[in-house]
Amino acid sequence: MSMAGTRGARARGTQIALHLGLILACLSVLLPILWVTRVAIVPSAMSYSPGLLPEVSSENFHDLFAGRFPLSYLNSLVVAAGSVVLAMPFAVTLGYSFARFGTAGRIGRFSVLATQMLPPVALVLPAFAILRSLGLTDNLFGLILVYGALNLPFLTWIMMGFFKGIPVDLEWAAMSDGATAFQAFRIVVLPTALPGMAAAGVLGFILSWNEFLFALVLSGPRTATIPVALAGLQTSNGVKIGIVAAGVVLAVLPLIVASRFIQRFIVEGLTFGAVK
């Protein structure tokens, strides 16, 4: 075999090994999801039976919706969306101030990020005491306030990085045409930053949607979110794995839909900002 043929065979072997590795990596991620879905759509008595789909049934979903899960689902949607709506205006303005003007210096910017390093268990009792004094325990608005405050440092740093990637020449060009600094920010910077705001909003939504400790301490039966509701799916006979699997399938569905919905918008917006 010639030298060129040997190199070609090695290249093909490398490509095959790479594709096999990618397939195994994808399977390692997809198989748990597929198995949970399989457990959710078969009768509880067949949860551990062999076979891919011994019998398809909606029994687990009927049992799940017979309890408080629909209310918990609505609570999670309200709290997660509300916390993002509350935190994003502050994250945008803080991120822009940090990126363009270096507000508070490096120590101030690091202090904002350092709040994310505090363990949640050290914050949950002070948060409970504050909300109790305000009468906001077992209240969705109280959870929105707490989640908005928890997500604000993370969202601020995301927006700061994105604003740093937007050329300042765009603002100078707008101001040279007679716009004020605020008008340049509103007319030029914000539309370009929409993809970053969408990405930050989705990440903030996911963080709030998945949070468990604060929801467990600060909520009650009326205001429990999905993680608390799933943790409460336990009976005197133990955990009904089929009902839990049905709850998990419904819990991850909004995250998949949201990520898929904005994916193209984020990519197009990032490339638009880079070209400009």
Question: Is a pLDDT exceeding 80 seen at residue 3?
Answer: no
pLDDT category, 275, cuts 50, 70, 90?
very low
146 has a pLDDT exceeding 90: yes
Q: How confident is the model at residue 86 (pLDDT cuts 50, 70, 90)?
A: very high
Residue-level pLDDT at 80: 94
pLDDT recorded at residue 29: 80
Does 169 have pLDDT greater than 80? yes
pLDDT band at residue 276 under the 50/70/90 scheme: very low
Q: Are strands 238-239 and 234-235 parallel, antiparallel or unpaired?
A: antiparallel
Q: How many CB atoms lie within 10 A of CB 208?
A: 26
Q: Can you state the angle between helices 241-275 and 69-101, rounded to 10 degrees? A: 20
Cα–Cα distance measured from residue 169 to residue 184, given in angstroms and rounded to the nearest whole number:
11
Assess contact for 139 and 214: CB atoms under 8 A. Answer: no
For position 91, what pLDDT does the model report? 92
Residue predicted with more confidence, 191 or 145: 145
The whole-number pLDDT of residue 57 equals: 78
H/E segment holding residue 78: helix 69-101
pLDDT at position 131, please? 92
Phi, psi of 234 (to 5 degrees): -135, 135
Residue 58, helix vs strand vs coil: coil
Dig out the tokens for 198 from the structure. Answer: 């969408």
Q: Going by C-beta distance under 8 Å and a sequence separation of 6 or more, which residues neighbour residue 4?
A: none
pLDDT digits (tens, 9 = 90+) for 195-239: 888 888 888 898 899 999 999 999 888 899 999 998 888 766 677
% of the chain beyond a pLDDT of 70: 86
Q: In the predicted model, is pLDDT for residue 2 greater than 60? A: no
- Which residue in 109, 87, 99, 94 sits closest to 161, CA to CA? 99
Residue 272 pLDDT > 50, yes or no? no
Structure tokens at 20: 């096999």
Total-model pTM? 0.82
- Quote the pLDDT of residue 269: 46
What is the pLDDT at residue 140? 92
- Chain-centre distance of CA 183, in angstroms? 31
Query: What pLDDT does residue 120 have?
Result: 85
- Residue 86 near residue 145 (C-beta atoms within 8 A): yes
Residue 248, both tokens:
């998990």
pLDDT digits (tens, 9 = 90+) for 25-53: 888 888 888 888 888 888 776 666 666 66
- Is the pLDDT confidence value at 271 over 60? no
